[in-house]
A = this chain, B = another copy of it.
Amino acid sequence: MPDSGAPACLLCLFRHVCHNAGPQAPLPHAPMALQPELVEVRTGEHVFRQGRPALTVYPLRHGSAKQVYESPLGWRQVTGFSLPGDVLGLEPHEGPVYGTGAIALQDAMVCAVSVESLRTLMQAAPFRETVLEAMRRNAERERVLLVAVGSMRAPQRLAMLLLDLAGEQARRDGNRDGALTLAMSRTDIASLLGLTLETVSRLLSRFASVGLISVRQRHLRIIDRDGLAAVYADLDPAPRQAAARSEAYGGEFGEPRLA
């Protein structure tokens, strides 16, 4: 029977086609076909492993997770964090296997939706569009991360992450006071951003000492959002011009750093 919907269900991709989500406006031509099994995943355990057959996607109900990619040579890197409402294992190209692994950052609850049923549902145009839109957001995220890691300085990268986390948080519970609980370790953050855990720790302390945030362990509050945004945009600390011009002409590429 419907459990009337967890808070995460309100943001879930599948909310309009899932009985678990409770009463929702249905989508035209998309039947309420889903009543996914709930699966518990304990802290540090895999939701799924990279390279295994991708038969299921996992909307996240409670808890949080990190995506981890392991390159052919065995280098591992965190490629993203997921919060309730996100769908884990959603690959854009119907891969036969998972392209990354997902590991719970805390005891978590996920729904198990077979990709088979997902594919069926995606035959309905409006639902398909929703899913594709989510995939596009994921791809955009990865690209932003690549640029960050490839051409921004450590403080900018961290500021970016904090702003992103706060934004996601706000999108979920509407909590705009900037209070965050970091489910991931400093090591995970460092891996995502291409830094070391010491650097992350130091930067958090520095941000705090400058009044941008407050931190104690994994409890963090954003105090000066605009200040953080300025760090992200690099208007602040380093001898580095504002820059950033669009509409590239010819052979140009010009990051700000080289402008």
Contact = CB atoms under 8 A, between A and B. Distances in A.
A214 interface: no
Given A68-B248, A95-B136, A253 B188 contact: yes
A246 to B, nearest CB: 6
A100 interface: yes
B251 A44 contact: yes
A92 interface: yes
Given A146-B146, A150-B194, A151-B77, A140 B99 contact: yes
Contact of A146 (B69, B72, B196): B69
Interface residues of A, number: 66
Interface string A113-128: 0000000000000000
A146 B75 CA distance: 11
Given A78-B253, A146-B149, 15 more contacts: A68-B253, A69-B146, A74-B243, A74-B245, A75-B244, A77-B253, A91-B139, A92-B93, A93-B139, A94-B132, A142-B142, A149-B149, A151-B191, A187-B258, A191-B253
Q: Give 5 nearest A-B pairs by CB, closest first.
A: A74-B244, A44-B250, A150-B194, A92-B92, A44-B251
